[in-house]
Amino acid sequence: MTNETMILVIDDDLNDQALIKRAFRVIGIRSSIHFVNNGLEAIAYMMGEGQYSNRAK
């Protein structure tokens, strides 16, 4: 497990995701950004369930 900062963004619009990535890069944030499409996916991600059960991935 690493101590790298991860930013979780909940947004299902690919254009918004691209804008968010660009905005973070422009202001100098270099943390990893992970996008999920909705609240249920966010909960699964946070709980490490389903497709997010392999934390090494």
Q: What is the pLDDT of residues 1-52, one digit of tens each?
A: 556 789 999 999 999 999 999 999 999 999 999 999 999 999 999 999 999 9
Per-residue confidence (pLDDT) for residue 38, from 0 to 100? 97
Question: Residue 33 corresponds to which tokens in the numbers above?
Answer: 């950004």
Question: Residue 19 corresponds to which tokens in the numbers above?
Answer: 């804008």
- Distance, CA of 45 to CA of 36 (rounded, Å): 8
What DSSP letter does each residue of 6-56 carry, written as one string? EEEEE---HHHHHHHHHHHHHTT--SEEEEESSHHHHHHHHHT-GGG--TT
Q: How many domains are there within the chain? A: 1
Is the residue at 36 inside a domain? yes
Question: Residue 52 corresponds to which tokens in the numbers above?
Answer: 């997010």
Is the residue at 24 inside a domain? yes
pTM: 0.79
What's the domain range around 13? Answer: 6-52
Is the residue at 47 inside a domain? yes
Is the residue at 12 inside a domain? yes
Per-residue confidence (pLDDT) for residue 37, from 0 to 100? 97
Is the residue at 1 inside a domain? no
